[in-house]
Amino acid sequence: MRLVIGKISHESNSFSVIPADLEAFNERGYRRGADILTAFENTNTPLGGFLAGAQSQGVELIPTVAAEATPSGPVTRTAFETILEDLLQGIRTAGSFDGILLQLHGSMVTDDYEDGEGVILSAVRDEVGCDIPIITTLDLHGNITDLMLEKATAFFGYDTNPHVDKYERGLEAFSAMVRVVEGKSHPVMARSHPPIMPHPLRVRTDTGPLVALLERAREWENKPGVINVSVFGGWPHVDIRDAGICFVPVTEGDRSLAETIAQDLAEDALNRLPEFLPRDLVQTEDAVQRAMEATEGPVILAEIGDSPAGGSSGDGTVTLRALLEAGADGVAIVVKDPEAVAEAVRRGVRSSFEMEVGGKTDTFHGEPVVVRGTVRALTDGTYQNRGPKDTGVKMDVGRTAVIRVGQDFDIVLTERRISPTDPEVFRQAGIEPSAKKIVVLKSGGHFRAGFTSMAADIIDVNTPGVTAADVTSFNYEKVNRPIFPLDDITG
């Protein structure tokens, strides 16, 4: 058995001014051919699951392209066309093969298309015809469209948020593909899309309404003829028609059963509307005061509005300014600022440092803040994730400079945007986050996988930005209305 594998992944944000161009994909990781096999082996990723399944069953994999960019604004026309052509060219030169396994996201928007994944799957289907199965893993934050379902054979969405089950979903997708190729399985899918578009804070899988919805999905999966039931929390930071929650059951040739399951889950979700509203958000000044008064640490301050994992700038200054003005100490925070890094490198370790930091990408996340301190350390910014999310994946945040303010206030300046979901981003800079009183993380939720075990307290800080908690504050023009919470749908 020979299977083509590939990855094109981007979570787009319509309100971000940062383009997802070819440079952005090259920064995060743009691999072709055999390099994919070595890069993703033994990693907690769908590709890692594909590789493990193939090794255990003696299946030959034909790697094409693996391209990912840090979430940002839409993918540029040049980047999208280049990456898609690389995938198609890899398929054309693969020789004979039995199926295609892809790792896609589900919320890609491009300069030209609202439904990036639908276009990718359509192009692949046009290339290989109707008989070759195409099975895809998708992010829990995917916005799933009818076109995607029409062109694919089966979907396997992540069951966890934070996403710590990527390997398992890849392995599940691989096993499903083997059964299809062997003629033992004939998947069909259905889709329901209730008018609900929650913020990612309310589609966690350890608390909130998705817990019960996932339990209901698992109950359905235990019934005869059901292969998989994916619960997609959707992605609200893209202005497209199909944004929002979606349910996609996969059954053995029984589309009526799939439709029944999808509708059942949609009705359950609609009965839980109030549960989808953000709660327990704390204003910045109150969060800082609470953290400073805490008797134990570290206290995690999660900057909801400035989450690079959702497309934000990563150089927001609202919480940084509040901490500096309050005289906080025992702090660690990561801020993207390549200009400040270059200045720190020019000055050198142990030298004094003074310049405006952060707030340079846009006007949504706070103004630059004057930082006065000492260059404590300089690193190359490379490390490997060791926590439960994306385990084993190699990261590169560019050159990194640590600026020490006061006795123990460390600002980790990076050249590239990063949502600090793994403690290694601090450790590569010589900082042990568990030893700090306050750790500021520009992340909406994925940080919980790597930091919850060390945290004395976690505070979701209601900071402004393109990933802000109040989705009603954004100007939507294309989203299918009415939809909750933009509209009252109870009447």
Give per-residue pLDDT as tens, 332-383. Answer: 999 999 999 999 999 999 999 999 999 999 999 999 999 999 999 999 999 9
Residue with structure tokens 């925070």?
333
Compute CA distances 155 → 169, 231, 249, whole Å. Answer: 10, 11, 9
The confidence score (pLDDT) of residue 148 equals: 98
Is 491 a residue whose pLDDT tops 80? no
Q: 288 and 249 in one domain?
A: no
Q: 306 and 227 in one domain?
A: no
Confidence of residue 179 (pLDDT cuts 50, 70, 90): very high
As beta bridge partners, residue 9 has: 68
CA distance linking residue 222 with residue 456, whole number of Å: 38
What is the pTM (predicted TM-score) of this model? Answer: 0.96
pLDDT, mean of residues 237-262: 98
The confidence score (pLDDT) of residue 218 equals: 98
- The count of structural domains within the chain is 2
**Residues near 126 by Cβ (< 8 Å), separated by ≥ 6?**
none
Is 272 a residue whose pLDDT tops 80? yes
- Please give the residue range of the domain that contains residue 359: 281-469
| 399 found inside a domain | yes
Locate the DSSP E strands across 167-298: 187-189, 226-232, 246-252, 281-282
CA distance linking residue 180 with residue 197, whole number of Å: 34
Q: 323 and 259 in one domain?
A: no
Could you say which of 276, 291, 307 is where a domain stops? 276
Could you say which of 233, 254, 276 is where a domain stops? 276
| 87 found inside a domain | yes
Is 53 a residue whose pLDDT tops 90? yes
Q: 314 and 253 in one domain?
A: no
| 329 found inside a domain | yes
The confidence score (pLDDT) of residue 115 equals: 98
pLDDT over 70, % of the chain: 100
Q: 219 and 114 in one domain?
A: yes
| 480 found inside a domain | no
| 474 found inside a domain | no
Q: 255 and 289 in one domain?
A: no
Mean pLDDT of the chain: 97
Q: 361 and 297 in one domain?
A: yes
| 405 found inside a domain | yes
Element (H, E) at 2: strand 2-9
The CA-based angle 178-180-183, given to 5 degrees, is 110
Could you say which of 276, 298, 321 is where a domain stops? 276
Does residue 111 contact residue 74 with C-beta atoms inside 8 Å? yes
CA distance linking residue 287 with residue 292, whole number of Å: 9
pLDDT, mean of residues 423-452: 97
Q: 397 and 261 in one domain?
A: no
Q: 334 and 258 in one domain?
A: no
Element (H, E) at 155: strand 154-157
Q: 110 and 13 in one domain?
A: yes
Q: 245 and 129 in one domain?
A: yes
Confidence of residue 130 (pLDDT cuts 50, 70, 90): very high
| 487 found inside a domain | no
The confidence score (pLDDT) of residue 108 equals: 98
Q: 346 and 420 in one domain?
A: yes
| 350 found inside a domain | yes
Compute CA distances 296 → 114, 293, 300, 431, 483, whole Å. Answer: 46, 9, 11, 18, 42
Is 438 a residue whose pLDDT tops 90? yes
Confidence of residue 13 (pLDDT cuts 50, 70, 90): very high
